Structure 1
Amino acid sequence: MAANIEGTTSAKFASIKDEFARNFAERGEVGASVCVSVNGERVVDLWGGMADLKNETPWERDTISVVFSCTKAATALCAHILVDRGLLKLHAPVSDYWPEFAKNGKETTTVQMMLNHESAVPAFRDPVKPGGFLDWDYMVKRIEDEEAFWEPGTRNGYHMVNFGWTVGELVRRVSGKSLGQFFQDEVAGPLGADFWIGLPDDVTNPIARILVAKPDPNIPLSPFTKRLLSEPDSIQALSFLNNGGWNQNDPAAHKAEIGGGGGLSNARGQVAMYEPLALGGSHNGVTLVSPERLDHIGQVSTATQIDATLLSPTRFASGFMKSMDNRAYPGGDQMSVVMGNAAFGHVGAGGSIGFADPEYGLAFSYTMNQMGMGLLLNDRGQSLIDATYRLLRE
C-alpha cells in the first residue's frame, strides 16, 4: 500500500526514502521508522504508514513500538557498562553475583557464557504461569530452578526471551537497580533516547499496535519453524510458545521489564543508543563505554554452525548479533541479518533492527509494526541496510 512518509534525509542519502517507500508499496509494510546516523550526523530520519490499522492511526514522529529482541542489545550494553567499571567480571562464575542460579547443572556458568547464549536455559520445560513474563521475581526463580539443557559453555542456543532475565538479573544484582531503571539512568536518559525497558506511567509517546506475520505458503519454512510446529517439547517450541500468554499489545506488558524482548522504541531512539558505540564509546558528551570495552564488544565471542535453538548458523559478540548470512540455507531468508564486518547490534522478531558499525561511524535502526516471517531480518529491513551501505561506499 502507498503511505504518507514524513521526515528528512540529507542529499546523499535521499534515495533511502525511495527504498522506504518501496517497502510500503511492494513489501507489505504497514507502519515503520528508519534512522541513519553517520559520524554523529542524522542523515536519515523517516517514518510513515499506520500505527494502528483498526483505528486508522498514523505513525507519527514519536510513535514507538515493541522492538522485541532489539531489547537484548540494551540489556547487554548495561552489563558491559558494569564490566567497564570493574563491577562485573566476564569470566567470573555467575555464582559470585547470583548464588541461587548455580544449581541443576548450571554451577559452572560464567558471565561470558550468559552473554554468549551458552548458559543452557533457553526455555522452560514446565508451563509458565499466566502473566508470568510480567513478574520479574517469578521469572528469575524459574531461571534458577530450571535444569540445564546442556553443559554450560559447551554449545550456544539462542535464549529467546530468557536472556533478559539471565543477563538482566546480573545487572540488577550488581547495580542495585532494576534493569529498566539502570538502562534509563545510564543510557537512554543521558542520551535523550526514546527507548524503555518497562514503560513508565508518564510516557506519552503513541504506541503502534504489533501485527503478527501472515504465513506465505510460497516461502519455505526455516528448520526452527518446522521443529516448533512438529515437536511441542522441543527447545524451539518451548522457547517460543511457553510464554504465559505474553501479549505484546497489552499495556501491562509494556510496563513490565522484559529485557529479552519487551522494550519499546523507534528507529531514532535506537540510533541514539548506538551513536556512541559507532564513535569510540562517546557522543555529545555522553560516554557509555571505554574504547577498550568497545573493541571487545565488537568481536565475535561465540559462533556455531547449528545454534541449539535457532537451528541455523549464528555469530554473537557478547550479547550483540554479528552479521549472519544464512540465505543459502532452506528458509534462510528468515534467519539472516547482513551487515558490515565490524557491525554489531540486534534484530527483533519480525524484522526490526538496530546496530553500530564503527568502520563507517554508522548507527542504523529500522522498526515496524507488521511482523515478517522468521526471527531475524526480512526484505524490508535488509533492503534499507543494503541501500545504506551502497551509499556509504560510493
Structure 2
Amino acid sequence: MKTPMGGGVAPGFESVADTFRELLDSGAETGASCAAYVRGVLVVDLWGGWADAARTRPWEPDTLVTVFSASKPVTALAVLARVADGRIELDAPIVRYWPQFPHPGATVRHALSHQAGLPAVAASLTAAEALDWPRFTAAIAASPLEWEPGTAVGEHALTYGNILGAILRGATGETIGSVVASFGVDFHFGLSPADIVRCAEVEHGSPDWPSASIHGHGDLWARALGNPPDLLSTSVLNGAAWREGELPAVNGHTTARGLASLYERLSSLLPADLLTEALSTQVNGYDRLLQEDAEWTLGWRRDESWVGMGGIGGSSAGGTFAGDPRTDYRLAYVTRHLADHDRGNAMYDALEACLASSSPSSSSSEV
C-alpha cells in the first residue's frame, strides 16, 4: 500500500512536495508533517506516513508529535512574554524569582542563553522523577555549577525548561504550558485527554538510536542527556507521564503548522525592540555540551540569518530573519521517526531552492 500523504503547496513550491513524497516512499520517513510560510503566506502544508508503530493510523493534519529541543525556543518565548509586560527582568538574578536557587550570580539572561552553568543534574534520577516538576527542579538547584554563570556556554539539554519555568512560576505563578496556551497556536506542554488521542507514537530509527544519542559525544553530553538513562525509550516517550507532564526543555507536542505559525507570529507576540534583542546574538563561542562553536540568542540558535532550533530525533523549526522579503521564510518539520536531521535538512534545501529560483511569484498563493 502506498504511504499516505496529504496537504499541498502553493504554485512554485511543487518540488518541496516532491521531496516530502520521496522521503516517505524511500522509507527514510515513516510519519511527519512540514509547513512553511513565505512573506506571511502559508505556502507549504504537508503531512504523511503513519501516526502509530502498527501503521494503522494515517498521519492527519492535526496529528501531534513531541519535538524535543525544538521546544526550547517556545519555552523561552513564554518567559520573554513576561519580560515584555514588565514582570520579569532580563538582567535580574534568578534568585529574585526562584528563592531556592543557590547561585546569586546567575541571571535570567544567562538562563535564556544557555550560560547559567547547570546543563547537568548531579543526582541520579529515574524518568518518573525527571517528569516530576518539584523533584527535577529541586535536583537542578542542588547540582554544582559546571562553570560560573556568564563565563562559558553549553546547551542546557534537559534543565533549560525547568530553570525558566521556575523563574516564570516565581514571578507570575504561571506555568510554561499555560503561557504557551495563550499564544493560540497548536503547541502544547501537557496534553489534555482530547489532545492525547491525536498524538503520534514515536519510534526509533534504529535499535541503537537511544544509546548512540547519549554516548560517544563527550562526558558532559552523556551526563546531561543520560540522566535519567531511559528517558529516550519508547515506553517513556509514548507514556502518559511524558505526554501529560511538563519538561519544557524537550517535551513540547505540536504540528508542523502550529510550530511554523508560532515563528510566523513572533512579531505579534513580542514588541519590536524586545524581539530584536531576543533574536540577536548573546554569546558566540565553544559550546561545552555540543563541543562545537555555537551562536545563541535568548532562546534560539543562530546561523547567519537563520534562527531556530532542532530537536534530537529530527524535528526542527526556524526561519530567516534578514528582512529580505524575497528569501525570508519560516519552516517547521516534525517527525515520529527518531533518527538524524537529513530529512528536515532536505525540506529546508528544497524550500530555499524554490526561493532562489524565479518560480514563486512575488505574491505567493496560499496552500
TM-score (structure 1 length as normaliser): 0.83
Letter of the structure 1 residue corresponding to residue 281 of structure 2: V
- What is aligned with 1:290? 271
Letter of the structure 2 residue corresponding to residue 248 of structure 1: L
- What is aligned with 2:241? 252
Contact 1:132–1:244, Cα closer than 8 Å, also in 2: no
Letter of the structure 2 residue corresponding to residue 182 of structure 1: V
2:228 is aligned with 1:243? yes
1:1-394 alignment runs, 5 A limit: 3-26=3-26, 28-101=28-101, 103=102, 106-185=103-182, 187=183, 189=184, 193-203=185-195, 205-214=197-206, 225-227=215-217, 234-243=219-228, 245-246=230-231, 247-277=236-266, 281-282=267-268, 288-305=269-286, 307-323=287-303, 341-358=304-321, 359=323, 360=325, 361-373=328-340, 378-394=341-357
- The DSSP-based 3-state class of the residue aligned with 1:147 is coil
- The DSSP-based 3-state class of the residue aligned with 1:45 is strand
Give the CA deviation at 1:141: 0.9
Contact 2:33–2:256, Cα closer than 8 Å, also in 1: yes
CA distance in 1, matches of 2:70, 2:348: 16
CA distance in 2, matches of 1:244, 1:98: 28
Q: How many residues align?
A: 347
Letter of the structure 2 residue corresponding to residue 391 of structure 1: C
> CA 1:290/1:259 → structure 2, altered by over 3 Å: closer, same or farther?
same
CA distance in 2, matches of 1:59, 1:14: 20
CA distance in 1, matches of 2:140, 2:53: 37
Q: List per-residue Cα deviations over 1:6-33 (Å, max 9, x = no partner).
A: 1011111111000111212336111110
Contact 1:34–1:44, Cα closer than 8 Å, also in 2: yes
Letter of the structure 2 residue corresponding to residue 368 of structure 1: T
Question: Which deviates further from its counterpart, 19-28 or 139-148?
Answer: 19-28
Letter of the structure 1 residue corresponding to residue 164 of structure 2: V
CA distance in 2, matches of 1:2, 1:161: 38
CA distance in 2, matches of 1:297, 1:149: 25
Q: Structure 1, unaligned stretches of length 5 or more? A: 229-233, 283-287, 324-340
Cα RMSD after superposing both structures = 2.1
Give the CA deviation at 1:355: 1.5
- The DSSP-based 3-state class of the residue aligned with 1:299 is coil
Letter of the structure 2 residue corresponding to residue 289 of structure 1: L
Compare relative contact order (CA 8 Å, sep 6+) and give the higher one, 1 or 2: 2
Q: List per-residue Cα deviations over 1:44-93 (Å, max 9, x = no partner).
A: 10000111132522111111111111111110001111112222111121
> CA 1:201/1:4 → structure 2, altered by over 3 Å: closer, same or farther?
closer
> CA 1:78/1:43 → structure 2, altered by over 3 Å: closer, same or farther?
same
Letter of the structure 2 residue corresponding to residue 371 of structure 1: L
Contact 1:32–1:48, Cα closer than 8 Å, also in 2: yes
Contact 2:75–2:161, Cα closer than 8 Å, also in 1: yes
Q: List per-residue Cα deviations over 1:85-137 (Å, max 9, x = no partner).
A: 22211112112211211x2xx32111111111111111112201450122111
Contact 1:212–1:372, Cα closer than 8 Å, also in 2: yes
Give the CA deviation at 1:204: 5.6
Q: List per-residue Cα deviations over 1:292-334 (Å, max 9, x = no partner).
A: 11111221111223x11121222211111112xxxxxxxxxxx
CA distance in 1, matches of 2:192, 2:50: 24
CA distance in 1, matches of 2:121, 2:196: 35
Q: List per-residue Cα deviations over 1:127-184 (Å, max 9, x = no partner).
A: 0145012211111111111111111111111111110101121122222111111211
Letter of the structure 2 residue corresponding to residue 367 of structure 1: V
CA distance in 1, matches of 2:222, 2:36: 35
Letter of the structure 2 residue corresponding to residue 317 of structure 1: T
> CA 1:216/1:163 → structure 2, altered by over 3 Å: closer, same or farther?
closer
Contact 1:199–1:255, Cα closer than 8 Å, also in 2: yes
CA distance in 2, matches of 1:290, 1:6: 36
Contact 1:199–1:254, Cα closer than 8 Å, also in 2: yes
- The DSSP-based 3-state class of the residue aligned with 2:46 is strand
Letter of the structure 2 residue corresponding to residue 226 of structure 1: G
CA distance in 2, matches of 1:153, 1:265: 32
> CA 1:302/1:27 → structure 2, altered by over 3 Å: closer, same or farther?
farther
CA distance in 1, matches of 2:73, 2:197: 22
- What is aligned with 1:231? none
Question: Which deviates further from its counterpart, 353-362 or 165-174?
Answer: 353-362
CA distance in 1, matches of 2:66, 2:244: 11
CA distance in 1, matches of 2:343, 2:22: 9
> CA 1:40/1:124 → structure 2, altered by over 3 Å: closer, same or farther?
same
- The DSSP-based 3-state class of the residue aligned with 1:314 is strand
